[in-house]
A and B are shown apart, each in its own frame.
Chain A
Amino acid sequence: MGQTLSEQILSYAAGRTVRSGEFVVIEPDVVMSHDSLTPGIIKILRQELGVEKVKYPQRLVFSMDHVAPASTVGTADAQNLVRRFAQEQNIRLFDVGRGICHQVLVEEKIAMPGKVVIGSDSHSTSYGAVGAFGTGMGSTDVALAWATGRTWLRVPETFRIIVEGHFRLGVDAKDLALKLCREITIDGANYMAVEYHGLDWMPLAGRQTLASMAVEMGAKAGIVPPTGVIANEFPAPAWLCVDPEAVYAKTMKINLYELEPQVSIPHEVDNVADLSDVAGTKVSVVFLGTCTNGRYEDMRIAADILRGRRIASGVRLIVTPASSRELNRAAQDGTLSILLEAGATLTTPGCGMCMGRHQGTLGEDDICLSTANRNFKGRMGSPKAQIYLASPAVAAATALKGYIADPREL
């Protein structure tokens, strides 16, 4: 009997053949946590578990991305606590300015095909972009993984998406991710892994967009088979490959030739419409960034639309690169200058305003078109603010017009 990618990865980690539905206790290869929760995890480790030293410091990674740089005395003190802890226990730390954990772990090749990566962050499904089993957990689970080197998992069933065709002009991976949320719904893949087949041609950035949003359908993991154009850069172990005999709990086909630009409407991610249904909605803020869409490619798409133009008056365009590397790539070829000349505001690489904590928190009258992954009420600030989610191309067109606009009509 064949195995899904999740079954293969968790079998390898467990040292025995496992099937969906089984419980396994495994040693994750990587345990990631960020500044928002690491201070609390240290507290759980010391005060509740009574443990001082983490078991495998070389498997831990810390990032400073959620409030970066610190915005309050409290966050500054908490970050310093994490820095001291990392130094004392010899744990890798990517400090303020380096970028979002999910981007940095891929850039640094810490997330690799076949690895199990757990993170104190629901968007840890992102590591599936390179064929890892990435999943989010809460602080107590992460503290236990620090202390014991282990964690428990239920081997998930798999929802297979078979993608056919290619994007038409003005449509990209974000539109596919939103379309999948629309079809599968916010809990349609709850407890499951999602596998995205038929995407050997898709570059890394698009795979990251898709995998980051697997959790928005409730998924435990979202894995793009690490074959095709990323295979040289992210070589897979010989035991990891799509198995024609694998058994999938569900399968859905989607044809990209029929895909229109998609927009998620407040206040739920799966409340998605075709762009044409919401075009013309006025906005006050456009946000280009996050683990879903803050990469060089995303800034490039926006720059190609904004070149030589100015954003609409009364609109703030806030650009937050996903990492220092992506920022530098955009700086080196002039992408960044185009954005700045168009009127964009640039912030420190990191999560930016995604969680409403800093660098552009929304007020109650704000209407934001964001390239992020969540539009829950109050997510980015005031619960009265409205958040629409869309692709970088739609974001750029919207910034230009001051209302939700179709990039294909410019």
Chain B
Amino acid sequence: MARVWKFGADIDTDQIVPGRYAPYMRPDADVGEAAFIEARPEFAKTAQPGDVIVALENFGCGSSREYAVEALRRRKVGAIFALSFARIFYRNALNLGIPLFEAPEIVEALQDGDEVTLDIPNGRLIRGQQVFQLPEIPPFARDILSAGGIIAYVRAYGRFPGEA
């Protein structure tokens, strides 16, 4: 079972990983340990692989820092559900292979601390007796995610998605 970590709107990348915790500033530290270190210290301490992040609008706004996504990847976040994502964060998450969904129904239903089972291959999220359908991922994004990220995609196909 995965735990749901619910957040509000406009969670900026300074909250996900403050700039002071960048790998540039702490080259010997694991940036995964800095995930939400100030905004949600409980997440930094206790989040488990497979846990799910749920947020309202504009998740990941602000800086282009990919290490915010890298920190979540290192924590093996199972998926991120939000009402919407900030542009650069969305792109960075796809590139690093973290599944992310604009999913109003799921965002509304899930509460912080819920225990869920995420079944991406079958497009389902299960909470107790309730089964939620995962929204369709746009083809361009799906191609990148199923390769395991943009680098794996480009290495496998020798081109960008959608490129002849």
Chain A residues packing against B (C-beta within 8 Å) = 23, 25, 35-37, 39-40, 44, 48-50, 66-67, 72, 74-75, 77-78, 119-122, 124, 136-141, 143-144, 148, 150-152, 186-187, 190-191, 218, 220, 268, 355-357, 361, 374, 376-379, 381, 383
* CB atoms of A122 and B24 under 8 A apart: no
Chain B residues within 8 Å of A361, by CB: 20
List 20 other contacts, CB 8 Å, given A143-B151, A355-B20.
Answer: A23-B161, A25-B160, A36-B24, A37-B66, A44-B151, A121-B63, A122-B88, A124-B64, A141-B91, A148-B154, A148-B160, A152-B160, A152-B162, A186-B10, A187-B58, A356-B18, A376-B12, A377-B39, A378-B18, A378-B20
CA distance A143 to B155 in the complex (A): 13
Chain B: number of interface residues, binned into ranges: 35 or more
What is the CB-to-nearest-CB distance from A364 to chain B, in angstroms, rounded to a whole number?
Answer: 11
CB–CB B27/A218 < 8 A: no
C-alpha spacing A124/B64, complex, angstroms: 10
Whether A190 contacts B86 in the complex (CB less than 8 A), given A138-B64, A138-B69, comes out as yes
Contacts of B163 in A (CB 8 A): 25, 150, 152
- Is B20 a contact partner of A138 (Cβ separation < 8 A)? no
Query: What's the dominant secondary structure at chain A's contact region?
Result: loop
Interface contact B87-A190, CB-CB below 8 Å: yes
Contact of A187 among B25, B28, B61, B66 (CB under 8 A): B61
Partner of B15, one of A141, A220, A357, A376: A376
CB distance from B149 to the nearest CB of A (A): 8
Q: Judging by beta carbons under 8 Å apart, are A187 and B88 in contact?
A: no
Contact in complex: A122, B63 (CB < 8 Å): yes
A138 touching B25, Cβ below 8 Å: no
8 Å CB contact of A78 from B14, B27, B69, B150: B27
Tell me whether A144 and B15 are in contact in the complex, defined as CB-CB below 8 angstroms, given that A25-B163, A150-B160, A220-B87 are known contacts.
Answer: no
Q: How far is it, in angstroms, between the C-alpha of A357 and the C-alpha of B18 when the chains are bound?
A: 10
On chain A, the residues within 8 Å of B92 by CB distance are 138, 140-141
Number of A-B residue pairs at CB separation under 8 A: 139
Complex Cα spacing A138 to B62, Å: 12
- B residues engaging A (CB < 8 A)? 10, 12, 14-15, 18-20, 22-28, 38-39, 57-58, 61-67, 69, 84, 86-88, 91-92, 95-96, 140, 149-151, 154-155, 160-163
Are A140 and B58 within 8 A (Cβ)?
A: no
Query: Could you show 18 A-B contacts with beta carbons less than 8 Å apart?
Result: A37-B65, A49-B155, A120-B64, A121-B63, A122-B63, A122-B64, A136-B88, A137-B88, A139-B66, A140-B92, A141-B91, A141-B95, A144-B150, A148-B160, A187-B61, A190-B58, A218-B87, A356-B19
Q: Let me know if B18 and A140 touch, CB within 8 A.
A: no
Query: Known contacts A25-B160, A139-B66: does B95 contact A37 (CB below 8 Å)?
Result: no
Cα distance A48–B19 in the bound complex, in angstroms: 24
Chain A, Cβ-Cβ closest to B22? A36
Task: State the Cβ distance, B48 to closest chain A Cβ, in Å.
Answer: 25
A40 touches B23 (CB 8 A): yes
The reply to whether B151 and A140 contact each other, CB–CB distance below 8 Å, is yes
CB distance from B84 to the nearest CB of A (A): 7
